[in-house]
Structure 1
Amino acid sequence: MQSDEIYRLAQGGNPRAIAEILKAQFRDQGIRVIVKTPAEKQLNIVFESSTTPDQQHIQTQLQALQSHWQKHLTLKITATGFRFGELEPDWEWAIAKGLLSSEERQQSSENLALIQKTPEVQQKRSALAVQLQKILEPQLWHSQITQTKNALVIKLNVIKNIDRRHCRQVIQTAVQALDSPEIKKVYLNVYHRQKQQYLWKEAFDPNDDFDTNIAVSPSPQKQRRSPTQDTLKALTIGISCSIAIFIVPLSRFILNAFLTFVHELGHAAAYWTFGYPAVPSFDFIFGGGITLALNQAPILAIAIYGLLSYIAFQYRHNRNTLIILASITVIHLLSLLSPLHQTLIITMGHIAELMAIFICGYCALGKYFCYVGGEQTIYAMLASFSFLESCSFFGQLTFSNSFRIAYRVGKGGLLDNDLVRLSNDYLSLGLAEIACIFLLATIMMPLATWYAFHYEPLWIMKFYRLCQRNPDSKPGL
Structure 2
Amino acid sequence: MSQSGGLRQQAKQGNPDAIETLLNQVLLHKQMTTHVSLEDSWLHIALHCALDPDLQTALILIDRELSRLNSPLIHRIRIEADSNQQALEWSQEFDLGTYAQVGNTPAIVRDHSSISPAPHPPDLPHPPHSSPAQTTSLSPLKISNQGLNAVVVGFLLAIVLINVGFLRVIFYGFNVLVHELGHAITHWLFGRPAIPSVNILFGGGVTLTFGQSALVLALIYAGISYLFYRSRHYPRVLGVLTGFTLLYTLCLLTSLNMILSIFMGKGMEAIAIGVCLYLAISGYYCRFAGDRAIYAMLGFYTFFSGLQFSWQLIRDADYRTNYEEGIGGGAIDNDFVILATQYFHVDLAVIATFFLFCCLLAPAIALLLYRYERWWVNGIQQLFAVKQ
Tell me whether the two structures share a fold, i.e. TM-score over 0.5. yes
Q: Which residue of 2 aligns with 1:336?
A: 252
State how far apart, in whole Å, the 2-side matches of 1:380 and 1:307 are: 35
After superposition, the Cα gap between the structure-2 partners of 1:203 and 1:234, relative to the gap in structure 1 and judged at 3 Å, is: same
Check conservation: 1:194, 1:366, Cα contact below 8 A. no
Q: Which structure has greater helix proportion?
A: 2
Q: Which residue of 2 aligns with 1:390?
A: 306
Aligned residues: 323
| Aligned residue among 326, 330, 354 for 1:410 | 326
Check conservation: 2:279, 2:292, Cα contact below 8 A. yes
| Aligned residue among 91, 94, 98 for 1:192 | 94
Partner SS, residue 208 of structure 2 = strand
When Rg is computed on C-alpha atoms for both structures, the one with the higher figure is: 1
After superposition, the Cα gap between the structure-2 partners of 1:211 and 1:230, relative to the gap in structure 1 and judged at 3 Å, is: closer
Q: Which residue of 2 aligns with 1:324?
A: 240
Compute the displacement of 1:228 (Å).
1.6
State how far apart, in whole Å, the 2-side matches of 1:213 and 1:248 are: 61
Q: Which residue of 2 aligns with 1:363?
A: 279
| Aligned residue among 123, 130, 134 for 1:218 | 123
Check conservation: 1:358, 1:448, Cα contact below 8 A. yes
After superposition, the Cα gap between the structure-2 partners of 1:178 and 1:350, relative to the gap in structure 1 and judged at 3 Å, is: same
**Structure 2 residue 23 is matched with structure 1 residue 85:** yes
Check conservation: 2:47, 2:81, Cα contact below 8 A. no
1:48-67 aligned within 5 A: none
Compute the displacement of 1:453 (Å).
1.9
**Structure 2 residue 343 is matched with structure 1 residue 436:** no
| Aligned residue among 227, 230, 234 for 1:314 | 230
Q: Which residue of 1 aligns with 2:157?
A: 241
State how far apart, in whole Å, the 2-side matches of 1:228 and 1:340 are: 41
1:65-144 aligned within 5 A: 83=21, 85-86=23-24
Unpaired runs of 5+ in structure 2? 1-9, 29-42, 64-79, 116-121, 125-135
Q: What amino acid is the match of 1:393?
A: F
**Structure 2 residue 132 is matched with structure 1 residue 231:** no
State how far apart, in whole Å, the 2-side matches of 1:443 and 1:189 are: 39
Same amino acid, percent of matched pairs = 28
State how far apart, in whole Å, the 2-side matches of 1:384 and 1:285 are: 29
Superposed CA offset, 1:164-191 (max 9, x none): xxxxxx968x875529xxxxxx9x9966
After superposition, the Cα gap between the structure-2 partners of 1:237 and 1:283, relative to the gap in structure 1 and judged at 3 Å, is: same
State how far apart, in whole Å, the 1-side matches of 2:309 and 2:326 are: 15
Q: Which residue of 1 aligns with 2:87?
A: 178
Compute the displacement of 1:151 (Å).
11
Q: Which residue of 2 aligns with 1:260?
A: 176
Pick 1 or 2: higher relative contact order, CA cutoff 8 A, min separation 6. Answer: 2
Q: Which residue of 1 aligns with 2:339?
A: 422
Of 288-297 and 236-245, deviating more is: 288-297
Q: Which residue of 1 aligns with 2:365?
A: 448
Of 385-394 and 426-435, deviating more is: 426-435
After superposition, the Cα gap between the structure-2 partners of 1:85 and 1:379, relative to the gap in structure 1 and judged at 3 Å, is: same
Q: Which residue of 1 aligns with 2:66?
A: none
1:12-23 aligned within 5 A: none
Partner SS, residue 216 of structure 2 = helix
State how far apart, in whole Å, the 1-side matches of 2:25 and 2:158 are: 37
Partner SS, residue 196 of structure 2 = strand
Q: CA RMSD in A?
A: 4.3
**Structure 2 residue 160 is matched with structure 1 residue 251:** no
TM-score (norm: length of structure 1): 0.58
Compute the displacement of 1:223 (Å).
2.3
Q: Which residue of 1 aligns with 2:46?
A: 145
After superposition, the Cα gap between the structure-2 partners of 1:222 and 1:330, relative to the gap in structure 1 and judged at 3 Å, is: closer
Partner SS, residue 452 of structure 1 = helix
Q: Which residue of 2 aligns with 1:15?
A: none
Q: Which residue of 1 aligns with 2:382?
A: 465
Compute the displacement of 1:301 (Å).
0.7
State how far apart, in whole Å, the 2-side matches of 1:340 and 1:282 are: 26
Of 272-281 and 384-393, deviating more is: 272-281
After superposition, the Cα gap between the structure-2 partners of 1:196 and 1:354, relative to the gap in structure 1 and judged at 3 Å, is: farther
Q: What amino acid is the match of 1:422?
A: L
After superposition, the Cα gap between the structure-2 partners of 1:449 and 1:373, relative to the gap in structure 1 and judged at 3 Å, is: same
Check conservation: 2:150, 2:281, Cα contact below 8 A. no
Q: What amino acid is the match of 2:279?
A: C
Compute the displacement of 1:384 (Å).
0.6
**Structure 2 residue 199 is matched with structure 1 residue 297:** no
Unpaired runs of 5+ in structure 1? 1-37, 39-43, 49-79, 91-141, 162-169, 180-185
